[in-house]
A and B are shown apart, each in its own frame.
Chain A
Amino acid sequence: VRLHLIAFAWNTAFAGGQNEVATRVDVYEDGWMLIVVPAAHVAQHVEKTTVSASYSLDVLSGATQAIPADTLTSATWYRERRHQVDLAVDARPSETYGFGLHGSTSVEPDYQSFSGGVSATTDVMERAVTLTARYDMGVETVTVKGNGAPIEQRRLQKLDLSWSQILSRKSVGTVLVSGAAYECGESLGCLASPYRFVPLRDDSGGLVTVHERTPSRLLRLAVAGRVAHAFNAKTALHGGYRFYQDSWAVFGHTVDVALTRLFAADRLALKVTSRGALQSPASFYRDNYDVAVAEAGVTVPKYRTADREYAGVRSVRVGGRAAYTFDGFGPFETFAVDARLERGFYRYPYFSEQPRRNVWMYGTGVEATW
C-alpha cells in the first residue's frame, strides 16, 4: 500500500510521458581483475522536461602489477570502490528543438572527476534529420590514497556533434564527430597513473624503475557512422564504424554489428552482438626502454609508460543478450528482465610481457516503465 501511495504521489506530481526505472548488475573479469558493477537509472518526465539520474558502483578486486618486467613479485592485491553519479535535465519546449544540462562525478580512493555541460538538439527537413550538439568541460584530480592530497589536476573539454537522418521507412543513419582536449600537469601527464612504474634496462642488464609519465596535452578526434535497419517488425540490424586519431599518434578503427530478433509475441528479444577494434601504439610507447648509463647518471626518456593499452590493441568481442517483457503490474505499464553474456579477446602485439587478455562480461537487470 505504501509503495502504491508513493507511486500515486509521484505520478500525480509529475504527470507527463512514459517514465522508466532500471537497475542491473554487470560483471567484468579477465583473470587479473574482477569488477562488479551494480547500477540504477531513473528517468521522469515533468511536462516537457525529462529529469534523469544514474548511479553506479564499481567494486574492483584483483592484482595490479607495479613493474611489468617482474609480474609475479611486483603484483599487489587490492580491493577498491568507485562511485559514479550522472544527472541530466532535458527540456523540449517545442516539437522541433530542445536543450539540456547535465553533470557527472566519479570518486575513487585516488581519483576524483567532476564534469558538466550543455546540449542542444533540433529536428529539420520535416523532422527527417536530427542535429545534436553537446559540450562538456571537466576537472579530474589525481590524489594520494588515504589522505586525498592532490597530486595533479587535469582539465578537459569535449564537443560532440551528431547528424541523424531517416534514410527510408526502415533505415536510419547517423554521423557522429567528437573532439576532446586534455590539459594536464607536467609531473604525471594525461592518463598516467602515479602507481605505475616503468622498467628501464641499461647495457649491463641492470634494471631501474621510474614513474610513468605521459605528455601534458592530449587532443582526441573520433568520427563515426552508424546505420540501423529494420528488415521487418521483428528483426533489425545495427552497425557502425568509428575512426579515431589523437595527438599521441594513436590511430584506431572500431566496427560493431548487432542483430535483434523478437519472439514469443514480441515479448522476448534476442540480440547477438559483435565488436572488433584495432588500435596503434602511442608514439612514445616502447616494449623495452633501453637506456645508456653514463658518468652523469641515467638519461630517462621524457615520456614513458608501462600501460599495455598504450601498446596497441587488437580485440574482438562477441556476445548475446536476452530480454523478456511482462505485462505491467501495480503502477508499472511494462516490466522487463534481461541478461547479457559476452566474451572478449584482447591482443597486445607490442606488449611482450602479457600479449593477451581474455575477458568475460555478464550481467542481468530489470526495467520498468510507468
Chain B
Amino acid sequence: VKTWWVLVLAFATSVWGGCAKVPAYQRSLLMSPIMQGPSPLDASFDAHVDGTRELMNGAGGGGGASCGCT
C-alpha cells in the first residue's frame, strides 16, 4: 500500500510541477479533431460490447483536453 501511495504522489508531483505552461494561443493542436476521443455513438457501442464480454467496468472515456483557447 505504501509503494502504491508513493507512486501516486510521484505521479501527481511530476504532473503538477513538471509540465510547461502552454498559453491559450498555442493550444490549437490540442483542439484539433485528431486529438479528440471517439464519437458518442462509437464510444457507446464499444462500451456495450466490452461490458458484455468482460466484468471489468468503469474509468472509460476521457483523454480530451480543456479548450482554454477562447
Contact = CB atoms under 8 A, between A and B. Distances in A.
A77 B49 CA distance: 20
A295 B59 CA distance: 50
A222 B62 CA distance: 13
Nearest to A325: B33
A22 interface: yes
Interface in B52-70: 52-68, 70
Given A26-B45, A41-B40, A128-B22, 17 more contacts: A54-B44, A86-B44, A129-B66, A166-B68, A168-B22, A170-B29, A174-B64, A220-B58, A222-B57, A223-B59, A224-B62, A230-B34, A233-B32, A252-B55, A252-B56, A313-B53, A365-B41
A260 B36 CA distance: 10
A143 interface: no
Contacts of B37: 238
Interface of A: 22-24, 26, 28, 37, 39-41, 52, 54, 56, 58, 86, 95, 123, 126-130, 158, 160, 162, 164-170, 172-174, 176-180, 191, 220-224, 226-228, 230, 233-236, 238, 240, 242, 244, 246, 248, 250, 252, 254, 260-262, 269, 277, 279, 282, 309-310, 313, 315, 340, 344, 346, 359, 361, 363, 365, 367
Contacts, number: 176
B32 to A, nearest CB: 7
B33 to A, nearest CB: 7
Contact of B39 (A22, A164, A228, A344): A22
B35 interface: yes
Contacts of B64: 130, 164, 172, 174, 228
Secondary structure dominating the interface of B: loop
B66 A127 contact: yes
A32 to B, nearest CB: 12
B30 interface: yes
Chain A interface mostly helix, strand, loop or mixed? strand
Contacts of A127: 24, 66-68
Contacts of B55: 191, 246, 248, 250, 252, 279, 282, 309-310
A166 B66 contact: yes
Contacts of B70: 95
Contact of B44 (A39, A174, A246): A39
A24 B42 CA distance: 9
Nearest to B62: A174
B15 interface: yes
B26 interface: yes
28 contacts: A23-B41, A24-B41, A37-B45, A37-B48, A41-B39, A95-B70, A123-B68, A127-B66, A128-B68, A129-B66, A164-B65, A166-B66, A168-B22, A173-B15, A174-B62, A179-B58, A180-B58, A222-B59, A226-B63, A230-B29, A230-B30, A238-B37, A238-B63, A260-B34, A309-B52, A309-B55, A315-B54, A359-B53
B66 A230 contact: no
Interface in B1-36: 15, 19-22, 24, 26-27, 29-30, 32-35
Contacts of A261: 34
A174 B15 CA distance: 10
B12 to A, nearest CB: 9
A179 B57 CA distance: 9
A226 B60 CA distance: 10
A345 B29 CA distance: 35
